Amino acid sequence: MLLTRLRRLPLIAALAAAGTLAAAACSSSASAPAASSGRGPELTHITVGALAITDDAPLFIAIKKGYFRQQGLTVTTKIVAASTDAIPDMLAGSVDIIGSGNYVSFFEAASKGVIKIDVLAAGSQCAGNTLNVLAMPKSNITSPADLAGKTIAVNLTSNIQTLTINAVLKDKGVNTAGIKYVVIPFQDMPAALVTGKVDAISVVEPFITAAEHDGATSVLAECQGSTAGIPLGGYYATQAWVKKYPKTALAFRRAIDQAQATADADRALVQQVIPTYTKITSAIAARISLPYYPPTLQAAQLGRVVALMRSAGMVSGSFSITPMLFRPGG
């Protein structure tokens, strides 16, 4: 399959291949424009590529609470293993928006001119134990220093996980040169850890709690020091899509911003909605740690991600996210 071949390539090469292949693809009926006149959105039905993680909970809250409907939108979700898996569909037109994709991967792709995107809305910010490295007791990995030279599972290489791990370990004086990162989807990480396929896993909720249920323990919190409260992911659309459907983009952002505020104010609601789009049970969902859901997109916070990427050599000194921030009417 196309997606399988793409995931075997480095991320930037995969995105470039996706862009080339998408040129020959056809748009889905879900993206057929409605009447462009009037005050409502140009589209009434959109599809959002989403991850089965806590970061995307506001998306499902917006559906459940009718926030999209209030904005004139009907939203269908497509669950993907990694946010970048939805890029070929977004470029082809069968996915309109990608939800809670990690900023690092999308910023790096944009910096290399591989894909032109707008950041529509904020997704989540690192908080407490919401992005951790875990290991099994039999591994004898009990501290950050023990991760040197080990194999760690991540959802994508060169992403927010690898960036924060390297930053925190370097802050602690740990040599990261020998660490090997391997790609394993979030939902498969607990099993890979239990069977010894990897030494450790970098994982988000609700899979942290699921792995702990299997006996794993956290050995590194990736949200501390220079990475404390760092933004993790947001919602994206291509700049061409936003230019064509600006009212739809604005309607989506209004609904998501409302859902973000609701999620941050009502943690019980987040824990209730998580089992509806993941395989996590209600019992486990009730115990998970939750990230911070920013109610608005904050350029200064995103600048922290860029600064960390710049220090890691992932983007040039001239790279700016300013042209990527969605500005209604701008």
pLDDT tens digit string along 91-118?
A: 999 999 999 899 999 999 999 988 999 9
When pLDDT is averaged across residues 190-218 and rounded to a whole number, the result is 93
What's the sign of the alpha-carbon dihedral 269, 154, 22, 107? positive
What's the pLDDT score for residue 299?
93
**Distances, alpha carbon 203 to alpha carbons 12, 17, 52, 174, in Å:** 22, 28, 12, 20
What is the arithmetic mean of pLDDT over 275-287? Answer: 90
According to the model, what pLDDT value does residue 33 have? 43
pLDDT interval class at 64 (50, 70, 90): very high
Supply the mean pLDDT for the chain: 88
- What is the pLDDT, as a whole number, of residue 330? 60
Topology (CATH level 3) of domain 131-227: D-Maltodextrin-Binding Protein; domain 2 (3.40.190)
CATH of domain 2-125+230-324: 3.40.190.10
Q: What is the pLDDT of residues 307-326, one digit of tens each?
A: 999 999 999 888 999 999 99
pLDDT reported for residue 244: 97
The interaxial angle of helices 103-111 and 160-171, nearest 10 deg, is: 100
Domain extent listing, the chain: 2-125+230-324, 131-227
Higher model confidence: residue 300 or residue 10? 300
Tell me the mean pLDDT in the region 140-169.
95
Query: Rounded mean pLDDT of 232-256?
Result: 97
pLDDT at residue 136 in the model: 97
- Same fold: 2-125+230-324 with 131-227: yes
